[in-house]
Amino acid sequence: MTSTFHHKPIRIARSAPVARGISGSRFATLITCGAVVLALVLATALPARADKKDDLAKALIAALVIGAIIHETKRKDPKPVPLPAPVSQPRVPSVCAIEIDGAERSVALYTESCLRREGFAYRLPRDCASTARIFGREDMVYGVQCLRDAGFRVSGR
């Protein structure tokens, strides 16, 4: 007995998250438009007189509104976000550290095979290298202090 299942594929569109609310520039534009409408309504609602004081006030209000509109149209470009400075010292992967505890002191070593397996593609200093047999295979090991002296960032002690 066989069963056949028919289903309709569901497609989910990938899109950027939608920002909610009013942005700062949009809010400033709304305020400016409101000021223009208010100035026009007040200018038409006031009775027409030949007083010089009223004409001066109207001219000042009109100049302020025009100045606000011009200021709003000259939008400044947002400042670019500075990128972090590139790392000048490559970091040695801490997963490759082998700690050997002795009676008098502890020693941390890094094996070349583990560093390469972790994607550490930097040139290692050959004067720091020592040959060691690890799990039956010969490998090159590097001391922590020697790697630090060579310019690598090593976490730990």
Confidence of residue 2 (pLDDT cuts 50, 70, 90): low
Helix axes 24-45 and 52-73, enclosed angle (nearest 10): 160
Encode pLDDT of 9-22 as tens digits. 555 555 555 556 66
Stretch 116-136: mean pLDDT? 87
39-48, long-range: CB within 8 Å, 24+ apart, which pairs?
A: 39/65
- Class of residue 115 by CB neighbours under 10 A (exposed 0-12, middle 13-18, buried 19+): buried
Q: Which residues contact 46 (CB under 8 A, 6 or more apart)?
A: 54
**pLDDT: which is higher, 116 or 68:** 116
Query: HEC states along the chain?
Result: CCCCCCCCCCCCCCCCCCCCCCCHHHHHHHHHHHHHHHHHHHHHHCCCCCCHHHHHHHHHHHHHHHHHHHHHHCCCCCCCCCCCCCCCCCECCHHHEEEEECCCCEEEEEEHHHHHHCCCCCCCCHHHEEEEEECCEEEEEEEHHHHHHCCCECCCC
Span of 36-40, 41-45, 90-94, 109-113 with lowest mean pLDDT: 41-45
Stretch 15-34: mean pLDDT? 69
* Domain spans of the chain, in order of start: 24-73, 94-149
**pTM for the whole thing?**
0.43
Confidence of residue 59 (pLDDT cuts 50, 70, 90): confident
* C-alpha separations of 64 from 7, 21, 51, 118 in Å: 64, 28, 20, 64
